[in-house]
Amino acid sequence: MRLLLKFPNFKFVWMPKASCRLFSKHCRRCAPLDVSDPELLDVYKVPEYFNFAHDVLDKWTQLEKDGRRSSSNPALWWVGGKGDEVKWSFEELGLLSRKTANVLSAACGLKRGDRLIVILPRIPEWWLITVGCIRTGIVFIPATIQLRANDIFYRLQSSEAKCIITNDMLAPAVDSVVSKCQFLKTKVLVSEGNRDGWLNFNDLFRAAPGDHAPVKTKHHEPMIIYFTSGTTGYPKMVEHSYSSFGIGLTTVGRHWLCSSPSSVIWGLSDTGWAKCAYSAFFSPWLQGSCVFAHGMLQFEAKTILNSLSRFPITTLCGTPTLYRMLIQHDLTSYKFMSLEHCVSAGEPNNPEVMEQWKSKTGLDIYEGYGQTETVLVCCSGRGVKIKPGAIGKPVPPYDVQIIDENCNTLPPGEEGDIALRIKPTRPFCLFSRYVGDPEKTAATERGDFYITGDRGFKDEDGYIWFVGRADDIILSSGYRIGPFEVEHALMEHPAVAESAVVSSPDPIRGEVVKAFIVLSPNYTSHDPEKLTLELQEHVKKVTAPYKYPRKVEFVEHLPKTVSGKIQRKQLRNKEWGRI
C-alpha cells in the first residue's frame, strides 16, 4: 500500500521497501514513468509561497513527533575521519538550523535577499548554514574548497556577496583579496580558533537562541546561486528559486534515487556543486530520507568501500569515475549488506564499467542526466529497463525533444540538439537566469525550447542517447571545467605565448584536461618534462587544482579561423581520433 503525506502546498508519495518489492507495478518509485499521468503532474502545482525549511523539513519534524516517521533513521548522519559521528533527527536539525539562522541575521547582519558565499568541506556546519540561509531568505552561493584566491575574488565581486563563510584553510586566500572586494562586509570562520577580522561561527552559534520564525518566501524568489563554467568567459551565475530546487528536485528523490523515509543516501559530491543538492540535500530530504556524509577531503576508494560495508547505506550516488576507481579493488572482500541502489551522473557512464560493477556487486548502475540549470532531465529509474549507454527517459515535468537548428523535432535515431520545451509554459524547475547576463540567458532559448548545449538522439523506445557537448566544456571525474579558465591561468606563466585547452580521453576519468601550448621564444630550449611539471604546478596554484592540465603538448602554432579564433574543435577531434 501507499502512504500519502500531505504537506500544505503539495504532496509526496512513498512506499515501504517491502511493499515496493511486492507491488512494484503499482509503486511510484518503481513503475515506468508516464509524464502525462495527471496524478503525477498534480504534484508539481507550484504554490504562491514556499520555503523548504518550513514546508518540508519542519513537516518531517512534526511527523517524527507524531510517530509517522521513525527518528531512529537520522535526517543527517555524518562520519569523520577519526571515528567521530554526528546524528541529527529532523527535530534536532530544525533546532540547530534555527540557531544558525539567528547567527546569520543577528550576528552577521544579513537580511532577506542578501548574498552569502559558503566555502566549506563536507562538515555538519555546511548543512546548518545552508538551511539557516533558507530560513532567513538569504541567497546562498556554495563553492568548492578547491578554489584559489583569484577564483574567490571573482566570485565575491561578481556576486556582490556581503558575507563569506569558510574555514581556516581558505581564510588566508580570502584575506589576500579582501581589500579589493568593496561589497564584502562580513567574514565568518568555522573553526575553534580565532583570526583577526573574522567572526567565529562556533562562538556565535553557542550563544545564539533556538527560536526563529522562517521568512515567508514566494516560490519565485531567488534561493541559491551556483557558479558554472563557461567556454568563452568566466563562470556564469546560475540562479534557482525556492520552488525550482525546493520542489523541482522531487523528481531526483522519487524517480532516480528511489528513496523513502527508511533510505540512507550517500551522495559523493563536493559541497560546491549542484550535484550535492541532488543527492545530499534537497532530494533526500524531500522524501524524508537520511543524508549520509563522510568528512574525507579527497575520495579514497578503501574508505568508501569500508563505509559501504560498515554503515547501513542503501543508496550510492557518484560519478562514473568513482565506479571506475572502486572496480579496480577486490570487491569480494567487502560485503554491502544494505546497499540496494546505485546511481551515476556528471558524465556519460561506460557500459563496461556498468557490467563489471554488476558482476562484482550484483547491482545495476542507474544513469541520471541534468545540468546545474535544469535539475534532473532524464534518468533510468528502478523498474525501467537499463540500456547501457543511454542516459534514460525524460522525467516530469520536462518534455525532452531532439531538434535541429530550425527547432524541428527530429525522428528517432537522428542526431540533434537535446532541448526542453519551455512554451507555452516554462517548467518551474528550470533556472531563473544567469545573474547579470541577460544576453546569455536569452541565448539558451531557441523558438519554443531551452537548448541544453548537448547533442544526442532519441531511440524508438523513447530513451535519450548522449552524443557529445556542443560547446567546449570538459567533464573530468564529474567536474565541469571551462577551457578559458585554464588557458587564462597558463597565460600568466612567462613560458606561455598561446594556449588552447581541450578534453582528451582517459581510461579512469573519462576525459582529462589537455593543454596545447605555444612557447615564448625564451623557453623553447627548456626541458619539456620539467617545464610541463612547472606549468602544471603553476595552474594548481592560480586556480582550483582539479582544473590543471594532466596532459601537455608543446606545438609551434594553434589552428585558427580567419578571424583569429582558436579552433578547439579541431584539436579535440584529433585527441579523440575523429580526424
326: left (phi over 0), alpha (psi -120 to 50) or beta: alpha
Residue 200 in contact with residue 86, Cβ under 8 Å?
Answer: no
Of 193, 217, 241, which one is at a domain's C-terminal end?
217
Give the pairing type, strands 264-267 and 290-294: parallel
Per the domain annotation, does 528 fall within a domain?
yes
Distance CA 17, CA 23 (A): 10
Question: Residue 503 belongs to a domain with what CATH number?
Answer: 3.30.300.30
* Inter-CA distances, 107 with 123, 186, 203, 218, 311, Å: 21, 10, 11, 25, 38
Q: 443: how many CB neighbours lie within 10 A of its CB?
A: 12
Name residue 498's beta-bridge partners: 518
Domain that holds residue 104: 89-217
The C-alpha atoms of residue 546 and residue 486 are separated, in whole angstroms, by 10
Q: Cis peptide before 424, with omega less than 30 degrees from 0?
A: yes
Q: Which residues pair with 82 in a beta bridge?
A: none
Which of 359, 416, 353, 418 lies closest to 389, judged by CA? 353
Q: Is residue 161 part of a domain?
A: yes
Residue 3 pLDDT? 36
Residue 142 lies in a domain: yes
CB 28 within 8 A of CB 54: no
What is the structure's pLDDT at 233? 65
User: What's the CA gap between 536 and 541, in Å, rounded?
Assistant: 9
**Sequence-separated contacts (24+) of 83-92 with Cβ below 8 Å:** 86/124, 88/124, 89/61, 89/64, 90/57, 90/60, 90/61, 90/63, 90/64, 90/288, 91/61, 91/64, 91/65
Q: Is residue 53 part of a domain?
A: no
Contact in structure between 257 and 286 (CB atoms under 8 Å): no
- The CATH number assigned to the domain holding 121 equals 3.40.50.980
**Strand 375-379 relative to strand 390-394, pairing:** antiparallel
- The count of structural domains within the chain is 2
Whole-prediction pTM value?
Answer: 0.87
Task: Quote the pLDDT of residue 145.
Answer: 93
In this structure, the chain runs to a length of 579
Whether 458 contacts 369, CB under 8 Å? no
| Per-residue confidence in pLDDT tens, the chain, 579 aa | 233 344 444 444 333 333 233 223 333 343 333 433 444 444 457 899 999 999 999 999 999 999 999 989 999 999 998 889 999 999 999 999 999 999 999 999 999 999 999 999 999 999 999 999 999 999 999 999 999 999 999 999 999 999 999 999 999 999 999 999 999 999 999 999 999 999 999 999 999 999 999 999 999 999 999 998 654 568 899 999 999 999 999 989 998 999 999 999 999 999 999 999 999 999 999 999 999 999 998 889 999 999 999 999 999 999 888 998 899 899 989 999 999 999 999 877 888 889 999 999 999 999 999 999 999 999 998 878 999 889 999 999 999 999 999 999 999 999 999 999 999 999 999 999 999 999 999 999 999 999 999 989 999 999 999 887 777 888 888 887 888 889 989 988 999 999 999 999 999 888 999 999 999 999 988 999 999 999 999 999 999 999 999 999 999 999 986 556 788 889 999 999 886
Peptide bond into 507 cis (omega under 30): no
Contact between 147 and 155 (Cβ < 8 Å): yes
Q: Distance between alpha carbon 443 and the CA centroid of its chain, in Å?
A: 23
Strands 341-344 and 315-318 turn out to be parallel
Supply the pLDDT for residue 33: 38
In 3-state terms, the chain is what percent helix, strand and coil (to 5)? 30, 25, 40
Q: Residue type at 415?
A: E
CA distance 27 to 43: 16
For residue 491, give the C-alpha cell: 597565460
In the chain, how long is the greatest CA-to-CA distance? 75
Main-chain dihedrals φ then ψ at residue 97, nearest 5 degrees: -75, -30
Distance of alpha carbon 447 from alpha carbon 95, whole angstroms: 47
CA pair distance 501, 474, nearest whole angstrom: 9
Q: Give the H or E element holding residue 491.
A: helix 483-491
